[in-house]
A and B are shown apart, each in its own frame.
Chain A
Amino acid sequence: MSVIYLLLAISILIALVFFAAFVFSVRKGQYDDSYTPSVRMLFEDELLPRDPEPENPDHQQNNTN
């Protein structure tokens, strides 16, 4: 019957894990700037169609680096 103790313990433990995650994220400064990351995630690894002439393999190589 004492399974309720186990369940309570587990549920509180899980809650505490999430709470610890919250504290960790605040401490890391994730709540300091709530705007920039939303922009930053949109421009990763943009590959430009910089040179319309595809016969320039050197340039292509540079861009993919």
Chain B
Amino acid sequence: MEDTSCFHCGAPCDLEEIRYDGKPFCCNGCKTVYQIFQDNDLDYYYQLEGAPGNSPASEKGRYDFLDDPLIAERLLEFQDASHHIVVLSIPQIHCSSCIWILENLHRLNPGVYSSQVDFPKREARIHFDPEKISLKDLAGLLSAIGYEPSITLEDYSGTKKKADRKLIYQLGVAGFAFGNIMFLSFPEYFETGEFWLEQYKGLFRWIMFSFSVPVVVYSGSGYLVSAYKGLRSGLLNIDVPIALGILVLFLRSTAEIVFDLGQGFFDSLSGLVFFLLLGKFFQQRTYSYLSFERDYKSYFPIAVTRLLDGGREENIPVYEVQKGDRLLIRNGSLVPADSILLRGAGEIDYSFVTGEARPVSKQSGERLYAGGKQLQGAIEIEVLKPVSQSYLTELWSDAAFSKSSKTGFRTLTDRIGKRFTLAVLAIAFTAAAFWLWKDASMSLNVLTAVLIIACPCAIALAAPFTLGNLLRIFGKRGFYVKDTESLERMALVDTAIFDKTGTLTTSRKNSIRYTGIELTEQESEVLKNTLRASGHPLSQALYRQLAPYNIVPLDDFEEHLGQGLEGRVADQQIRVGSSRFVRGEDPSAEEGTEVHISANNAYRGRFIIQNSYREGAGRLLERMGHDYSLAVLSGDNESERAFLGELLPPLTPMYFNQKPVQKLEFIRELQRQGRNVLMVGDGLNDAGALAQSQVGIAVSEDAGLFTPACDAILDGRRFSELDAFLKITRKGMKIIYLSFALSLLYNLAGLYFAVTGELEPVIAAILMPLSSISIVSFTTAATNWIGRTLKK
């Protein structure tokens, strides 16, 4: 086979190659998109980046619900008669070509006024004229060019998240005040008693005072509030000494200028707050296009098609689905509620919900559970329970989702903060008591000086910068961690639990093997051509696997939905499909995904299709086995027990047929034994376990697509490096300890000045930024150093 890749999307053209305009395409969809862009003079798209496209999804009627004004109203950000604005989330955005084409949408359709892409969020804000293009057609247009907007229940029910800009304002205010106060205080650092300085120092000092008021009241308010809350609940967190430092700095400086004792420490005060906020800002930078809080809502469709009497169809929001409603579920759509199959052949893929790899065939009258995906053809169902009460959604009522298990965690900084605060207070009062005895007028000076100089700015910066930088390093390498606290918890993990389907295995690649009587050349040829005619995912997988044969027209072809295919060329007849369809036997319980073949009604054999294990999964588990206790929890049946056993280190416990709730309970039991558990999973069936565990990592083929709520998302291609990430996290904690030691040295140097009563403003103004900057550069350099071992 020729080794070409699609000009549009870059995928290998192994299924079939379509030549158009002298360029190879992997499918008709890609070719069509190329044509659309050609016709509209938009082929600059292909010049920006090579093969930037996405293969378009073609499902008619998918966005019909957008015609419903009630639903559309919820999605639109702004609407009047001739101007609508909508913000659509488009996970496929991945490169500059994507930005370009989406911002040139108006060239594809005159109804679009303009569009603007927010790349980090993977969103497009589109202004359009509802009279020329409806929201539905807009979604259709995006779909047709391979940028299918993802519109889920979350968009519908979710309160529009407002950008929180408070930290930026606070940082701006602090930085502004810091700079100006620095200028104003500079003259007094070195020159005292000079004539003009004496004359105007009052003015300068009061201006500095007025600059510092907003720093304390607005920028520093977070620390004051957090310290107050901590104290009220009996916790000495790191914010207590910080708040103490801020308040003492401000009060002493004010007292100094009121009584004309000196220039105060306004510069150090604003600098302190500025650096602290900078640390917070660095820590807060996350991946805004990833969501770590998803529940079933973002997996579910926003609307479904309800069938009314007389064959009419109606789109209703999924929330309004009532018991007894009859719904039409299209090819590739989700079953939104527990229900009974009425008409059509169900071929339901529950892999995401239960971990069961094999799609199940359902006949009319059988029960369907919410969350399954209909793989082939449309079906009609009758709803048994409303969406919020289905088997799947009930998992979310478990206590694990109220996050109680994780909120109790105290960060390293807070744990240190307690001891630190006590030590500082002890030193401050001892020194004050000493001076009270020696020279009472110095006592208050020394007390405040100790509290000022010991303000743990550098300590408070160590963790944010170390972990913040690790987040960034990991993010570049496909491991997206929710926040720095998750990293800290990750360093403490001693037990790792893996899901099987979708986690250890990948849905991207199948391994197919054949057992039975060898097929003849002629049989294989008919088989290949029969498969070619079917759109079923298994047929396609098998089709790709078989050696190329001539394409011959079938004399006879019939597709029995949910059962199999039948094809005939001349006198050669082939049946492909389920065991029941081909040989009239029910499949055994241990059977995996299998496709059976018979030729001229004589049974030949079967293809066994397995999700292949991810590359390096075996070695990863072996390496991790040294440091962690491992276990595998699978929702799948036992068909792969033997195979999995070879892959895992000996004696690794394996549990099969695990329901989502059982997985959750398993983790909870381990935690009762005092373990720190890491759960690695992928689907909704792991959602409970991911939420309950100390650290839940969701493995995803594409980080932009759906992942259940978790603490980190790991790109499937990086799966084999999981242990390296964990190791680096542990090293990161060591860096934090080292930074603590480093900052204590600065504190000791400062304490010398404070205790002896010689703390000049200029010393504080030098020491504070110096300690902060050296901590920041040390942690940044050190994390880059330990991160270098990771592959790019």
Measured CB to CB, the residues of B under 8 A from A are 41, 43-44, 47-48, 96, 99-100, 103, 116-121, 163, 165, 168-169, 172, 176, 179-180, 183, 200, 203, 207
Residue of B nearest to A63 (CB): B41
Distance in angstroms from A20 CB to nearest chain B CB is 10
Instruction: Please state if B96 and A4 are interface contacts (CB–CB under 8 Å).
Output: no
With A11-B183, A32-B165 given, can you name 14 additional A-B contacts, CB distance below 8 Å? A4-B200, A8-B207, A15-B179, A26-B168, A33-B118, A35-B120, A36-B118, A36-B119, A39-B96, A39-B99, A39-B119, A46-B44, A48-B41, A50-B41
Interface bits A27-65 vs B (CB < 8 Å: 1, else 0): 101011111100110110010101000000000001100
Q: Would you list the 3 A-B pairs with minimal beta carbon distance, nearest first?
A: A36-B119, A33-B118, A39-B96
The residue in chain B whose Cβ has the minimal distance to the Cβ of A48 is B44
A10-30: CB near B (< 8 Å → 1, else 0) gives 011001001100110011010
- CB-CB under 8 A from B207, the residues of chain A are 8, 12
B176 touches A43 (CB 8 A): no
- Decide if A36 touches B117 in the complex (CB within 8 Å): yes
- Whether A40 and B103, one on each chain, are in contact in the complex, defined by CB atoms closer than 8 angstroms, is yes
Q: Are A36 and B120 touching (Cβ within 8 A)?
A: yes
Specify which chain B residues have a CB less than 8 angstroms from the CB of A31 in the assembled complex.
165, 168
What A residues does B103 contact at CB under 8 A?
40
B703 to chain A: closest CB distance in Å?
16
Minimum CB–CB distance for B5 against chain A, Å: 23
CA distance A32 to B163 in the complex (A): 7
Chain A interface, DSSP helix/strand/loop, else mixed: helix
Q: List 22 A-B contacts (CB under 8 A).
A: A5-B203, A15-B176, A15-B180, A18-B176, A19-B172, A19-B176, A22-B172, A26-B165, A33-B119, A33-B120, A33-B121, A34-B120, A35-B120, A36-B117, A39-B99, A40-B103, A40-B117, A43-B44, A43-B96, A48-B44, A48-B47, A50-B43
In the complex, chain B residues whose CB is within 8 Å of the CB of A22: 172, 176
Which residues of A are found within 8 Å of B179, using beta-carbon distances? 15
In the complex, A36 Cα to B119 Cα: how many Å?
A: 5
Contact B172 A35 (CB under 8 A): no
Classify chain A's interface size: 20 to 34
Considering the chains assembled together, what is the distance between the CA atoms of A34 and B47 in angstroms? 24
Known: A19-B172, A23-B172, A40-B103. A62 touches B41 (CB 8 A): yes
Name the prevailing secondary structure of the B interface residues. Answer: helix
CA distance A22 to B203 in the complex (A): 27
Report A-chain residues with C-beta under 8 Å of the C-beta of B116: 36
Shortest distance between the CB of B122 and any CB in chain A (Å): 11
User: In whole angstroms, what is the CA distance A19 to B118 when docked?
Assistant: 26
A11 to B180: give the CA distance in the assembly, Å. 9
Q: Cβ of B119 and Cβ of A35 under 8 Å apart? A: yes
Chain B residues in 8 Å Cβ range of A40: 99, 103, 117
Known contacts A36-B99, A43-B48, A43-B100, A26 near B119 by CB under 8 Å: no
| Distance (whole angstroms) from the CB of A65 to the closest CB of chain B | 10
* Contact among B117, B172, B203 with A26 in the assembled complex (CB-CB below 8 Å): B172
What chain B residues lie within 8 Å of A18 (beta carbons)?
176
List, in ascending order, chain A residues with CB within 8 A of B168's CB.
26, 31
Task: Say yes or no: A32-B203 contact (C-beta < 8 A), given A26-B168, A39-B96.
Answer: no
Complex: how many Å from CA A57 to CA B389? 66
- Docked pose: A33 CA to B285 CA in angstroms: 12
CB distance from B202 to the nearest CB of A (A): 12
Q: Which of B47, B100, B118, B169 contacts A32 (CB 8 A)?
A: B118
Nearest to B98 among chain A residues (CB) is A39
Closest residue of A by beta carbon distance from B104:
A43
Nearest CB on A from B289, distance (A): 10
Closest to B95 in A: A39
Q: Are B43 and A48 in contact (CB under 8 A)?
A: yes
Min Cβ gap B554→A in Å is: 43
Residues of A within 8 A of B180 (CB): 12, 15
Chain A residues near B48 (CB-CB < 8 A): 43
| Residues of A with C-beta under 8 A to B200 | 4
Expressed in whole angstroms, the Cα–Cα distance for A62 and B107 within the complex equals 12
For the complex, what is the distance from the CA of A62 to the CA of B41, rounded to whole Å?
A: 9
B120 contacts which chain A residues (CB < 8 A)?
33-36
Asked if B169 and A23 make an inter-chain contact with CB atoms under 8 angstroms apart, the answer reads: yes
